[in-house]
Amino acid sequence: MGVWVDTDFGFDDLWAILVLRAEGIVIDGISLVAGNAVLEQVVRNATGAQSVFGADWQLYQGAANPLHRPQETAERILGAKGMQSRGRYLPTVLDQSLPPVAPALRDWLSNGQTRHDVLALGPLTNLAQMYGDAPQDFAKISRIIWMGGASGRGNHSPHAEFNALADPEAVAHVFSSGVQVDVVDLEICRKVTFGTGSLPTDLTPLLADLLGGYLDIALSRGRQEMAIYDPLAALSLACPESVGFAPVHAEVELTPHEKYGKTTFSPAEDSSVSLATRVVSTAADRCLSALRKASND
């Protein structure tokens, strides 16, 4: 049984995919969405990663723009490539033509598997579009694990986490769909960190530079530790015992003002949305070990 990954393919998205691979999870397809960078750069990152890691992931091109709002990327933090580095970047592949996501995702949902879990690591535009265009197919999704939202302070605005702010309307659609959504939000990710002292010394030069660039985002802001975001969501899928969830009532602010994209979660006994509330102490080490494994494969 494999999973589907929907991603805006920055470095921690790649790291999450390497966590899945290290934990023996088969990836049936990867759909791309604009977010960390514009879609063209997201495609460059994904095809470059595919060439480096010798992966047989099938890539699909998804949404270039949010459902309604003007596009906002994370490039002011991550740079034009959608990821920071201390030197090396993923290579550029000449052939970047990819098939569209919609028919491939519908085919995957009809393939007879007993479960169809989706790991969503960016804005939820692709999934919201499918819910609007083919709700009967969308309903075949067993569970969506989404790294997004914030039950506390935001990171792209004082109130909103980036993946939610990039397409709040998509979040609202997916939350209301009735499909199970397990949210790995900023608050739980901020409990899983690494710093200079825990940087692995046995990584390939490329992974060392990319991981160092990711850490530099925190160091440049005066923080000694960087939160582990997308890899923690991947770990919650691959190792369910690593992250605990509780059902919540979930809302997202859709009025374009200072709280646009803010997510609010409150306890609920019966809900299709759950929020991560507990994480094991070994989560950071397990995520870092996936980079070591990728370096030694």
Strands 26-32 and 59-61: parallel
**Predicted confidence band of residue 1 (pLDDT cuts 50, 70, 90):** low
**Predicted confidence band of residue 96 (pLDDT cuts 50, 70, 90):** confident
| pLDDT > 90 in the chain, percent | 95
Listed residue (200, 297, 172, 182) closest to 242, CA to CA? 182
pLDDT for 9: 98
- Cβ-in-10-Å burial (0-12, 13-18, 19+) of 255 comes to exposed
pTM over the 0.85 mark: yes
pLDDT for 173: 98
pLDDT for 49: 97
What distances in angstroms separate CA 160 from CA 9, 47, 148, 151, 254, one per listed residue?
20, 30, 10, 9, 11
Question: Residues 132-188: pLDDT tens digits?
Answer: 999 999 999 999 999 999 999 999 999 999 999 999 999 999 999 999 999 999 999
Of 96-100, 202-206, 245-249, the one with minimum mean pLDDT is 96-100
Mean per-residue pLDDT of the chain:
96
Question: Residues 106-128: pLDDT tens digits?
Answer: 999 998 889 999 999 999 999 99
Question: Residues 212-236: pLDDT tens digits?
Answer: 999 999 999 999 999 999 999 999 9
Q: Is the pLDDT of residue 276 over 90?
A: yes
